[in-house]
Amino acid sequence: MKTISRRLTLTLALAGSLAASVAALAIAADSELIVFDWSGYEDPSFHQKYLDKNGDSPTFAFFGDEDEAFEKIRSGFKADLGHPCSQSVVKWREAGLLQPLDTSKITDWNSLNPGIMAMKDLATTADGKAWFMPWDWGNTLVTYNTEKVDEKDVQSLKAFADPKFEGRVSIGDNVDDAYALASLVLGIKDWTTMTEDQFKQASDFLRQVHKNVRLYWTDTTDIVQALSGGEVDLAWAWNDAAVQSIAAGAPIKSKKDTDEGISTWVCGYVLFKDAPGNSEKAYDYLNAINDPEVAKVLVGDWGYGQANAKGMESVDPQVMKEKGYDDVEKFVDKTLFQSPVPSDLKLKMIAEFEKIKAGY
């Protein structure tokens, strides 16, 4: 099994660290297409059909987080395709960084998961223009050491604030995942409508969680090492944290059926407004990663889902069950989709989360 994370591979941890500080660090290949991405997604198994047609992989440039990517592009860095997640799409679009996609050139566009495509302001706008091709999706969910934590003690997400877990908790250094956790505890499933009072309650809950936090993880390498090494016993983490920990022989399990539910994030690809490369190759790449066969890699090796519903249907049922995708509808009614939030609310979340982490 490949130990690849959503953002960094274990084997490319050093390269990922460099990418975080030097956003334009690149793996040069086909110079006619530049893909601005998270480290790890340059894996050829994701774009085999592009290789078959064009003879080489695209040139990949890496970023450490989406805010860094946004600033880099806004400052003049040139790339053809980018890989943001749902929370950033509106911001990138409103900043004039994107151009709409020609969906007639994207094979299986109509096979993209209807539930994902219906996320507010995500893929298409009211004028019918498409700005984002959803591709990978997964969850942020309870992940715990089965030898140190009884499952009944993590049936509720309120466990993250339970004093019994003081010094044993880790959540991501990620404002979206943090407020998704707090929103679920409050029973909020659509955080785009969060009121001022709910925001205060959510922030107060995160302050209680902070008292238990041993570390705020920044990538899957961090949390896998912390869980596998016994540094923490309870984490709010992505699917691949458990997948990698289990592969390493650690007694780690993820849990989707908590009382309050889970959070679901969606990432995908956008076409930059000033894309300098070959536009046809950009669509070759989108078609390659949207190929249904790629779902077998995403689900089997990463523990994530592919937005192409046809692809998910092609995955071995046993693998789907093992990764928790055998009955998606079972948990959809108790999930918070990380759809784009209003910009003023997002800015408040960012500012407040920094205070919380600093102990204020």
Q: Tens of pLDDT along 261-290?
A: 899 888 999 999 999 999 999 999 999 999
CB under 8 Å to 336, separation ≥6 — which residues?
Answer: 180, 183, 184, 188, 189, 190, 191, 261, 262, 263, 264
Average the pLDDT over each of 2-16, 154-168, 337-351 and give the range with the smallest value: 2-16
Q: Is residue 159 part of a domain?
A: yes
Q: How far apart are CA 213 and CA 262, in angstroms?
A: 19
349 and 215 together in one domain: yes
For residue 251, the model assigns a pLDDT of 97
| Domain range for 243 | 138-263+337-357
CB 227 within 8 Å of CB 240: no
351 and 211 together in one domain: yes
What CATH number corresponds to the domain at position 292? 3.40.190.10
Average the pLDDT over each of 106-120, 194-208, 211-225 and give the range with the smallest value: 106-120
CB 271 within 8 Å of CB 81: yes
Between residues 67 and 317, which one has the greater pLDDT?
A: 317
Q: Is residue 146 part of a domain?
A: yes
171 and 63 together in one domain: no
Amino acid at 185: V
238 and 126 together in one domain: no
CB 35 within 8 Å of CB 249: no
Tokens coding 296? 């077998």
For residue 332, the model assigns a pLDDT of 61
Number of domains in the chain: 2
104 and 221 together in one domain: no
- At 47 the three-state DSSP class reads coil
176 and 259 together in one domain: yes
95 and 131 together in one domain: yes
Amino acid at 323: K
Top mean pLDDT of 209-213, 333-337, 350-354 is at 209-213
74 and 169 together in one domain: no
For residue 120, the model assigns a pLDDT of 65
For residue 15, the model assigns a pLDDT of 36
223 and 290 together in one domain: no
For the chain, counts of helices (H) and of strands (E): 15, 13
Percent of the residues in the chain that have a pLDDT greater than 90, as a whole number: 62
Q: How far apart are CA 267 and CA 128, in angstroms?
A: 20
> Which residue carries 């084997």 as its tokens?
11
82 and 161 together in one domain: no
Question: Is residue 172's pLDDT more than 80?
Answer: yes
Mean pLDDT, the chain, rounded, equals 87
pLDDT band at 82 (very low <50, low <70, confident <90, very high): very high
Is residue 27 packed enough to be buried (19+ CB in 10 Å), middle (13-18) or exposed (0-12)?
middle
Query: Which residues are registered as beta bridge partners of 306?
Result: 136
pLDDT average, residue stretch 111-121: 80
Give first-to-last CA distance, the chain, whole Å.
42
CB under 8 Å to 95, separation ≥6 — which residues?
Answer: 70, 74
Tokens coding 319? 């693998």
For residue 91, the model assigns a pLDDT of 87
220 and 348 together in one domain: yes
